[in-house]
Amino acid sequence: MKIKLKFIISILVLILIPTLAYSEEAAEPEESQREHPQILINSVGVVGNSQIAQEYILNVVDTKPGKVLSRDMIQADVEAIYNQGFFSFVDVDVRPEGGGASVMFSVQENPVIESINFSGNTMYTSEQLMTEVFSQEGTVFNRNFFRNDLDRIQERYHKDGYVMVRVSDVQISGGNIYVSILEPKIGDIIIQGNKKTKTYVIRREIKLKKGDIFNVTKFRHHLGKLQGLGYFEDVNVAFDVPEEDDSNVDVILTVKEKRTASVGLNLAYGTESGVSGGLTYGDTNLFGRGMTFEVGFNEGKEASYWMTFASPYMDAKTFGWRVGARYSDYDERFYYYKGNKQFEFDEKILSVFAGVGKKFSNEDWSWFLTLRHMDAKYENIQNAVPGYIDDLTPWDGVNQTVELSLTWDKRDEYAPYPKGFVWDTTFEQAVKALGGDYQYLKYWTQARFYASLNNAVNGIADTNLAWSDENPLLFAARLRIGSATEDYLPAFARYSLGGMNTLRGYNSRSFEGSNMYLGNFELRVPVSNAVSVVGFYDIGNADVKFDWSNYHYDYGLGVRVKTPFGNLRVDYAKGEEENKTYFGFGEMF
């Protein structure tokens, strides 16, 4: 900063003392005034300015005609003019004038901007960065305005997650301004602390490559995905900038592993099926390779035994897969025909499957192909109503199917609650040539939506109690529709509605057919971090033919409680004729 206050002020004071003293003596001033004579300012002006108006410059000074001359005041005014930002040099000249003093500020304006040039920017074009710059060509360069321009450029980078980006240098040559942007890139990615988990399992979740520009928003999402695997008690992150190379940053991940094998307790209650329970043993990180294994059983009126083995991770280069088997033995199960109870029967079903899938280059999309063998037996009809309809037992047998599912998943997988939507469509082809007893094509599609309502109710309800960005008031919906090429499908292949996972106000399999539509709507209201109340409405039907006017519905309330075993779920539903209560774990969808 070039600010000059000429020595002439001191000389001026000495020259004017006799005259001023004479005037003050004639007025019989007080003793203090005779000892400290005052010099009045007669005029104030500016020289050297051509682009910046004098009125604008003098608007910031306290030195005015009629005021007493003060060295401190003039010094402050020189600084104020310089701080306007338009000048590279400010001087002042004080001279005697008509028994007082004349104050003339001398300025040297900054150059007129001819061009603004950026270098080092790869995330945004120079044209995009210029939208953040208020300084324009043809105007006098103002260092204050331009400092704010640079702040806005950095703010744009930081808002988009590029928090390490900074303006590293600014050079001014005549009217040309050269701005250097430093966009630090990822150097080495160091993973440490893992003993069981393979490094590549961790590495594939942190989707950063050497040479990428560091983005904290994306990195936070990747870190959340890594923590969500459930393999680690803690994940710490550190950054290291190599000496003499601030254009790169090394990322250091330190993980603390936890036990991933566990024994679980299964407990469920249904109005129809009664109480059932069992045990499971599983490992979510088998052999440290991110594979899952589970074996378990449920005992009760509805008994089941199962085992699954899978590698769920998949991307555009990696295949996911799963294999498994399940055997269920349901004694004294009720059979309904169009919602009316017909008889009780015993059901035994063995299902064995194997599947493989992969994501497309756009990883929001994926496919999964499953081969399934099913052997179903329906027997021991009992407690039949007079004139009952048996549309069940003639359909047992072996079914061999090929299933292809396509999924478009736009949910935010890193959010602490369901957010976004997911759409999937499945085609199931039964093939006699593979050893099955049936041939048909069955197809269905469904969409699930999850949306926070915090902003919508802000100002209407107090969202600062149990509702937060991490645990919001949530609207959830599921829409499903399906059909088939045959009017009459085998009993085990029919669309089936009723029970705790479809129409909650009705018994399991109350409505069946080769066509189906279903809508489930929930308002999930947090009461605390661990407890939520759910209001719900279900509507739909399954039948041989589509009949949109013939539908069934229910509504009710539920409670969700977070426990070490999972999300405890209790639902009370009121159907058209009966009320049902369900108890279990996990959300409905």
pLDDT at site 520: 98
What would the two tokens of residue 429 be? 């082809």
The average pLDDT across 53-65 equals 95
pLDDT at site 102: 96
363 & 388 share domain: yes
Could you say which of 234, 257, 280 is where a domain stops? 257
Confidence of residue 245 (pLDDT cuts 50, 70, 90): confident
The residue with tokens 């920017």 is: 121
Query: For residue 397, is pLDDT > 60?
Result: yes
The average pLDDT across 257-279 equals 81
102 & 227 share domain: no
The average pLDDT across 32-54 equals 83
124 & 238 share domain: no
pTM above 0.75, yes or no: no
- Count of CA atoms in the C-beta half-sphere (13 A) of 539: 10
Instruction: Compute CA distances 528 → 458, 461, 480, 532, 563, whole Å.
Output: 18, 15, 31, 7, 13
Could you say which of 89, 109, 129 is where a domain stops? 109
With a pLDDT cut of 70, the percent of the chain lying above it is 92
The average pLDDT across 565-570 equals 83
104 & 124 share domain: no
Query: For residue 274, is pLDDT > 50?
Result: yes
pLDDT at site 18: 33
436 & 333 share domain: yes
Q: What's the pLDDT tens digit per position in 430-470?
A: 999 999 999 999 999 999 999 999 888 876 766 556 788 88
323 & 438 share domain: yes
Q: Are 290 and 328 in contact (CB under 8 A)?
A: no
207 & 313 share domain: no
544 & 409 share domain: yes
Query: For residue 271, is pLDDT > 90?
Result: no
pLDDT at site 304: 94
296 & 205 share domain: no
pLDDT at site 12: 42
pLDDT at site 412: 84
**Pairing between β-strand 552-563 and β-strand 531-543 as defined by DSSP bridges:** antiparallel
Q: CA-based angle 411:447:518, to the nearest 5?
A: 145
Query: For residue 22, is pLDDT > 80?
Result: no
Could you say which of 46, 74, 109 is where a domain stops? 109
Q: What's the pLDDT tens digit per position in 68-90?
A: 999 999 999 999 999 999 999 99
The average pLDDT across 274-285 equals 89
With a pLDDT cut of 90, the percent of the chain lying above it is 75
Higher per-residue confidence, 246 vs 428: 428
Q: What's the pLDDT tens digit per position in 104-149?
A: 999 999 999 999 999 999 999 999 999 999 999 999 999 999 999 9
285 & 319 share domain: yes
The average pLDDT across 248-254 equals 94
Backbone angles phi, psi at 71, to 5 degrees: -60, -45
The average pLDDT across 53-58 equals 95
372 & 294 share domain: yes
89, containing H or E segment: strand 87-97
Poorest-pLDDT segment among 28-37, 42-51, 332-341, 447-456: 28-37
Q: What's the pLDDT tens digit per position in 483-533?
A: 999 999 999 999 999 999 999 999 888 999 999 999 999 999 999 888 999
Higher per-residue confidence, 167 vs 267: 167
Which CATH number do you get for residue 298?
A: 2.40.160.50
pLDDT at site 21: 27
135 is in which domain, residue-wise?
115-182
The neighbour count for residue 186, using CB atoms within 10 Å, is 19
Higher per-residue confidence, 139 vs 227: 139
Which CATH number do you get for residue 223?
A: 3.10.20.310
Domains: count for the chain: 4
pLDDT at site 356: 98
15 & 93 share domain: yes
The average pLDDT across 376-402 equals 94
User: For residue 211, what is the DSSP state?
Assistant: T
